[in-house]
A = this chain, B = another copy of it.
């Protein structure tokens, strides 16, 4: 069972290099992206929504043209392990999610998905075997339409120099930059 243009072993090597480790969510995420791509019309320009910030954004970034920095991937953290690829102008897309009913037959995947065991008590070899055997079989997909407000492309608008930090910032943010207004995460 390949993941997009990669064998599982090739994909895992890329995952280790980018993500740091072949986490279960990265392997399942690979099958999910593959399933979404197989159900997305070819030749379309699509964007991605990821409903969790854990693992899955990296599977999307490695397997599709959508990345955090090019703006085609939005992480909207709803706490669900799901992703949507959608046609970027009309918003019609395919949402892929882990199907709670389907994982009933894969006890170690269930333990991982519902956090029924702590990480140290997980049988990671068994988990990986079940993920590999189940492949996309633990997922379902549905047609969705992304709301128009999420399709609008961000534009920074005009740029000015912040009177406090002297760095460039979008004028629409007000008379100083958001960092100097108190949103910077620094002491």
> What is A's interface to B at a CB cutoff of 8 Å?
18-20, 26, 49, 51, 53-59, 61, 65, 67-71, 73-82, 84, 91, 95, 97-98, 100-101, 113-115, 144-147, 150, 154, 156, 158-159, 161-162, 165-170, 173, 177-179, 183-187
Q: Is B158 in contact with A51, judged by CB distance below 8 angstroms?
A: no
Shortest distance in angstroms between A30's beta carbon and chain B's nearest beta carbon? 12
| Residue numbers in B under 8 Å from A100 (CB-CB) | 161, 166-168
Q: Which residue of B lies closest to A162 (CB)?
A: B80
Q: Is B67 in contact with A115, judged by CB distance below 8 angstroms?
A: no
Name 9 A/B residue pairs within 8 A (Cβ), A-sorted: A18-B67, A55-B70, A57-B68, A58-B68, A59-B69, A61-B69, A100-B166, A115-B156, A147-B186
Q: Is B68 in contact with A114, judged by CB distance below 8 angstroms?
A: no
> Given the complex of chains A and B, what is the CA–CA distance between A97 and B184 in angstroms?
14
| Residue numbers in B under 8 Å from A67 (CB-CB) | 18-20, 57-58, 61
Q: Is B82 in contact with A69, judged by CB distance below 8 angstroms?
A: no
Q: Is B68 in contact with A53, judged by CB distance below 8 angstroms?
A: yes
Q: Is A168 in contact with B18, judged by CB distance below 8 angstroms?
A: no
> Given the complex of chains A and B, what is the CA–CA distance between A56 and B162 in angstroms?
20
Q: Which of B68, B76, B98 contacts A168 (CB 8 A)?
A: B98
Q: Which of B68, B79, B81, B177 contacts A79 (CB 8 A)?
A: B177
Shortest distance in angstroms between A33's beta carbon and chain B's nearest beta carbon? 12
Q: Is A53 in contact with B76, judged by CB distance below 8 angstroms?
A: no
Q: Which residue of B lies closest to A74 (CB)?
A: B185
Q: For the A-B complex with A53-B71, A76-B185, A114-B168 known, give 9 more contacts whose Cβ atoms are closer than 8 Å.
A: A57-B67, A57-B68, A58-B70, A61-B61, A79-B156, A79-B169, A98-B168, A113-B168, A146-B186
Q: Is B80 in contact with A69, judged by CB distance below 8 angstroms?
A: no
